Structure 1
Amino acid sequence: MAIKIHHIALKVSDTEKAAQMLYGKGGFKADETTYFAEVGMKIGFVNYRGTLMELLQPVDIDCPIINDKDGLHHIAFEMENLDEFHAQLQNIPIFQEIQDIRRGREGRIFFFRMKAKPFVWYECMEKPKSNE
């Protein structure tokens, strides 16, 4: 099963200001910031030489990360068989808070934490199937 890092997500107080700050540095390219009602936050991406950083700004009071501190929120991995990997994690005791698979911005995703790093989330994303 091929797994690669897709992006690193940062929780920020203001996505536009964070994107402008990062965009002002050489090599950064800012993406559109979009409001996602299902999670109550604005989400945008900044690309630095092929490395994606996702900016997460809580907007709604019931946003799941509203009380989290600004900074590293999660590391996202892209994989081909999300269901298989999700099932494998269920039986490994170092993983915790393994969430159900759900729809994300670009496809199916789920989140989990590791017991040794309880303040960092890990996101698993299903690699889009090519239309060949």
Structure 2
Amino acid sequence: MSTVEVGTELPPLSLHVTRADLVRYAGASGDFNPIHWSDRVATSVGLPGVIAHGMLTMALAGRLVTAWAGDPAAVRSYGVRFTRPVVVPDDDTGALVELSGKVTKLDGGIATVAITASFDGRTVLGKAVAEVAVG
């Protein structure tokens, strides 16, 4: 990590989430809710289609921060609000999640990073903020 100051932008990260990723995440997390694999169930409960697990989306945004920090242990805190789902089509491309971040505060060697996560041009995580040791 180079010199960090307020306004420092993290290198953007774009990731595709596929149905295969959802299957792997379900196995790792134990969350086999059919809204994450069945179009029929997802649409029957009012969703536009199969959606990614919220915690998977949060984890992907966390990758942005840990890649920038260079050490996952540097992340002191991390929190988000789930605002919109990431709809994952049943194809080989999946859903494109675009991630960016910016340092908004420095205090005693801790950088506050505001994270933006978007899908289909819309924000999917609100109040996404990490605190990272930088000094």
TM class by smaller structure = under 0.3
Q: Larger RCO: Structure 1 or Structure 2 (Cα < 8 Å, ≥ 6 residues apart)?
A: 2
Q: TM-score if structure 1 supplies the norm length?
A: 0.26
Q: Which protein has the bigger helix share?
A: 2
Q: TM-score if structure 2 supplies the norm length?
A: 0.26
Q: Which protein has the bigger strand share?
A: 1
Larger Rg: 2
